[in-house]
Amino acid sequence: MDGNGRWAKKRLLPRKFGHREGVKTIDRIADCVFERGIKYLTLFAFSTENWKRPADEVSGLLSLFAGYLRRKVPKMVKNGVVLRVIGSARGLDEKTRKLIDDAYEKTKNGTRGVLTVCFDYGGRADIVAAVNKCVESGTLVSEETFPGFLQTAGLPDPDIVVRTGGEKRISNFLLYQMAYSELYFSDTLWPDLTEKDLDGILSVYARTDRRFGGVDEDDNI
Ligand code: FPP
């Protein structure tokens, strides 16, 4: 969800206004995603590197996140959407940790879809922690069993990873999980992303020929 800061800068506003607008986009896009029958949406909200930002921006993001958890749970329960948070809870206060646990407890029986928020998440940290869990358990892992040690255990690998805001990099997102994901880089700033943009992305995806390293059946002659 890149581009909140630039959205605000373009309007000569402090960056926090961009983040606030970004939360509105989360609402809009998440609704559209689940309406279209997509079962899993995973948002990269705060990376393990985002702690390097100025303290007032970090505390603004933490309170937007807590506010989101406080406000959105009833709607998710109603809509059957499970709200799961992955990442580290180390930098979060007790209240936010409880909001995360409560959100999952209240929504966990939803059957319409799963919204996963990655907060204080890093792909490398996820892999390292998973490897340590394997070592501790003394199990040799395979490509089939290793994902069960990652924080995304139980979620399918992403079919498509979308980055808004014009940068073409992965920035330590789901490094193991996205080995075969389609990548879509959009110049649109996250707060400007619309339902129409989402449909455009989905129609590009629908036309994609995913071969997972193989060949198409009609090329197999
Ligand atoms: C990217 O824009 C956005 C972020 C780093 C933060 C997004 C997180 C929130 C809005 C917190 C709330 C989260 C939830 C799930 C409600 P940027 O600041 O990197 O933009 P720029 O590249 O234009 O500076």
Compute the distance between CA of residue 4 and CA of residue 27 in angstroms, rounded to an integer. 15
Check pocket membership of 103 for ligand 1, CB cut-off 6 A: no
What local confidence, expressed as pLDDT, does residue 210 receive? 84
pLDDT in tens, 53-66: 999 999 999 999 99
Which parts of 103-192 are beta strand (E)?
113-121, 160-163, 182-185
Q: Work out the angle between the directed axes of helices 15-35 and 55-79 (0-180°, nearest 10).
A: 20
List 50, 93, 187, 197, catalytic entry:
50
Alpha-carbon distances of 109 from 31, 115, 143, rounded to whole Å = 18, 13, 29
β-sheet bridge partners, residue 185:
163
Instruction: Report the alpha-carbon distance of residue 77 to residue 90 in Å, rounded.
Output: 27
Compute the distance between CA of residue 61 and CA of residue 148 in angstroms, rounded to an integer: 30
* pLDDT tens digits for range 76-120: 999 999 999 999 999 999 999 999 999 999 999 999 999 999 999
Q: Which two tokens stand for residue 100?
A: 């995360």
User: Tokens 């880089």 map to which residue?
Assistant: 185
pLDDT digits (tens, 9 = 90+) for 162-190: 999 999 999 999 999 999 999 999 999 99
Q: pTM of the predicted model, to two decimals?
A: 0.95
Ligand 1 atom at shortest distance from the alpha carbon of 167: 22
Which of 1, 4, 84, 116 most suits a substitution to test ligand 1, by most atoms within 8 Å of the C-beta?
4
